[in-house]
Amino acid sequence: MGYMDYINKANMQGKGDILSSFDWELVCVTKPRACYYPGDLIIRGRTNSVDLPPDLDVENAKTEMRGYTILTPGKVTNTGTFSINFQDFEDQAMTAFFLDLIYKTNNPLTRRSLRKEDLVSDWDFYRLNVNREPVRACRMRTCLASGGTMGDVQDTEKAPIQKGKIDFDIQLYWWENLN
């Protein structure tokens, strides 16, 4: 068999379904204890999109010995920020969750913050197949709110239908694959 002869119709078909970009699930496993939490059904039902954490970075140790460069395995960096985009409804449950968590992280008026242990959360992300069974799972651990936007609720000329979009940025200490 020659180079790349395996790319043909017989080898490309029948290998399973292609993963879609809309079959996924986001679950808050460990909820922040000190703030309002709207509930799992509201979180799941109002999540529009999730930007997963950055790729894994490997920092190899490099040394020079007798004119040769020798690489050895180093540390893996898997921290970063992930974003969740929510659609809020008239009950303002997502806005209340977002604002309560941000202001308890550090209230700009009083300059007070609650303890970290009361504000952290863990999130699980599941990529689903056509039968809605998880085929990939990862957990974002020890997450803290790091900001976000709630859009301009007064500006009705630009996108009057799109009000209630909330982009929520979360800083995580590490993430891991669960499967």
Residue 4 placed within a domain:
no
- Give me the phi and psi of 97, to 5 degrees please: -60, -50
Q: For 36-72, what is each residue's pLDDT tens digit?
A: 999 999 998 999 888 876 666 778 888 888 888 888 8
Q: Which portions of the chain are predicted below pLDDT 70?
A: 1-16, 19, 53-56, 151-163
- What is the domain range of residue 26? 19-57+68-152+161-177
Residue 138 placed within a domain:
yes
The CATH number for 125's domain is 2.30.110
Residue 73 placed within a domain:
yes
Q: Take residue 117 and report the two structure tokens written for it.
A: 């242990």
Burial of 63 (0-12, 13-18, 19+ CB in 10 A): exposed
What pTM did the predictor assign?
A: 0.75
Residue 166 placed within a domain:
yes
User: By percentage, how much of the chain surpasses pLDDT 70?
Assistant: 80
Residue 63 placed within a domain:
no
Does residue 52 sit in helix, strand or coil? coil
Residue 1 placed within a domain:
no
Residue 7 placed within a domain:
no
Residue 3 placed within a domain:
no
